[in-house]
Amino acid sequence: MSTPYLKIDHVDKSFRRGAATTEVLKDINLVIDKGEFVSIIGHSGCGKSTLLNIIAGLTPVSAGAVLLENKEVNDPGPERAVVFQNHSLLPWLTVYDNVALAVNKVFGRSKPRAERHDWIMHNLDLVQMGHARDKRPAEISGGMKQRVGIARGLAMEPKILLLDEPFGALDALTRAHLQDSVMQIHAALGNTMIMITHDVDEAVLLSDRIVMMTNGPSARIGEVLDVRLERPRRRLDLVSDRTYIAAREAVLKFLYERHRFVEAA
């Protein structure tokens, strides 16, 4: 058996606050192959963002380990770039400079200046944001900000791109546009991507596999669904596709039948 690309091995996570300990994640095991697109879906508060932060290295594990190409992940690094939910662009920098900050840090030594510039513009063009290079984040729309956030993540040439509810704050039309963009990028570059989402359609449309999480506390991986849909996928073709409908139904049933979100009283 070959070594897995990313291995999440018996990960537990509990937060301690004074004497009280809250167990958020319990015994998470997951293996992700190179080039795979995996979505993690679950009700809010189930710890899916915590899981992403653990993979990113932003949150330490309580037990278990995350292994990327057989090396343990202990701290954040550009080989696991994160596209944050609220874009997290630095408002005092232009679009170009936001991406440049990442590119100069990651490739400052390995690439000459002109090459870095080309690489920044290449990534901005990839998300169709080359035209707005001199704008500041406050001057562009939410969808455009998220595009730049994706460009910044891609520009680090990460082994894994982690997307934390990247389209959560966007309207439906903008979201569809960005989903298409991410699919194109995934098809063109073959990146390994892990996306947190709470949108069933989004998960089915984009993913090779959907990881469904049970409700917290002590959330586990409930089921993993293989989405056997041909790529490239087209939104309109899928509407009546049987596999698509079945996958969608499986996720919906998991979320709303077996693991209904119980509002804390």
Partner 1 sequence: MSVTTVEDIERSSEMGQAVLKNATDAKVVALPAAKAEVVSLSPALAKPLAQRVMSWFTPVLQNLVPPLVTVALILLFWQIAASGPQSSLPPPTKIWEEARDLITEPFYWAGTQDIGLGWRILVSLQRVAIGFGLAAVVGVLVGALIGQSVWAMRGLDPVFQILRTVPPLAWLPLSLAAFRDSQPSAIFVIFITAIWPVIINTAVGIRNIPQDYRNVAQVLRLNQIEFFFKIMVPSAAPYIFTGLRIGVGLSWLAIVAAEMLTGGVGIGFFIWDAWNSSRLSDIIVALVYIGVVGFILDRLVAAIGAIVTRGTAVN
Residues that bind partner 1 (CB under 8 A): 56-58, 75-78, 80-82, 84, 86, 88, 90-93, 101-102, 105-106, 136-138, 156
Nearest distance from C-beta of residue 158 to partner 1, angstroms: 9
Compare residues 13 and 80 and give the one whose CB is closer to partner 1: 80
CA torsion angle for 240, 246, 252, 257 (degrees, to 10)? 140
Nearest distance from C-beta of residue 169 to partner 1, angstroms: 13
Per DSSP, the three-state class of 80 is strand
Residue 191 Cα distances to 51, 159, 172, 175, 264, angstroms: 19, 7, 25, 20, 38
Nearest distance from C-beta of residue 77 to partner 1, angstroms: 6
Quick one: DSSP state of residue 61?
-
Find tokens 């990460």 and name the residue.
158
Q: Angle formed by the axes of helices 172-189 and 142-155, to 10°?
A: 20
Compare residues 88 and 181 and give the one whose CB is closer to partner 1: 88
Nearest distance from C-beta of residue 172 to partner 1, angstroms: 24
Compare residues 99 and 127 and give the one whose CB is closer to partner 1: 99
Compare residues 126 and 155 and give the one whose CB is closer to partner 1: 155
Is 89:145 a contact under the CB 8 Å cutoff? yes
User: From the CB of residue 20, how many other CB atoms can be counted at a distance below 10 Å?
Assistant: 7
Nearest distance from C-beta of residue 90 to partner 1, angstroms: 7
Compare residues 77 and 217 and give the one whose CB is closer to partner 1: 77
Is 99:148 a contact under the CB 8 Å cutoff? yes
